[in-house]
Amino acid sequence: MKISVISLLLILFALSASAQSGSVEVLADPAIDQLVEKHIYLNRHQSTLDGWRVQIFFDSGANSKRKATEVLNRFSSQFPDTRAYLSFKEPYYRVRVGDFRTRLEAEGFMKSVKAEYPNAFATADKINSPPPEKTIPTAHE
């Protein structure tokens, strides 16, 4: 009985394929699953990234918190579509605005507020993820 090389290769392939089938059971501490779930939750709910903001106010000393809050409220009423953030980093209260991905975007916005806030400047910061950009509908939509 003669067996061709091709037949022999097919038999070996079939045997190796059947030898590799099986199942795997992973035994792990349930705390690992909890840590993975916590990591996923934090990534979804604390999504900050490197970006830029425009700082429109900073001050220290007496009444600086009140002044910062007034600037924040005034800005929010003037530019309701741009988020404003009040923070304290000793000894300064500061108001930063916007969530810009690039310095160019931040400086472009800064030009639009420079008349009202002459000391404004763009600064690198951790930002919130901006919402997806709105698409412009086409004529047939």
The pLDDT averaged over each successive group of 10 residues in the chain (141 residues) is: 66 63 77 81 75 96 95 96 95 96 96 95 89 51 45
Dihedral through CA 77, CA 101, CA 52, CA 106, nearest 10? -60
Question: Environment class of residue 56 by beta-carbon count within 10 Å: exposed (0-12), middle (13-18) or buried (19+)?
Answer: buried
Q: Is the CB of residue 92 less than 8 Å from the CB of residue 59? A: yes
User: Which single residue is written with the structure tokens 């509908």?
Assistant: 137
Q: Is the CB of residue 47 less than 8 Å from the CB of residue 130? A: no
Q: Is the CB of residue 61 less than 8 Å from the CB of residue 53? A: no
50-126 fold:
Alpha-Beta Plaits (3.30.70)
Amino acid at 35: L
Domain boundaries along the sequence of the chain = 50-126
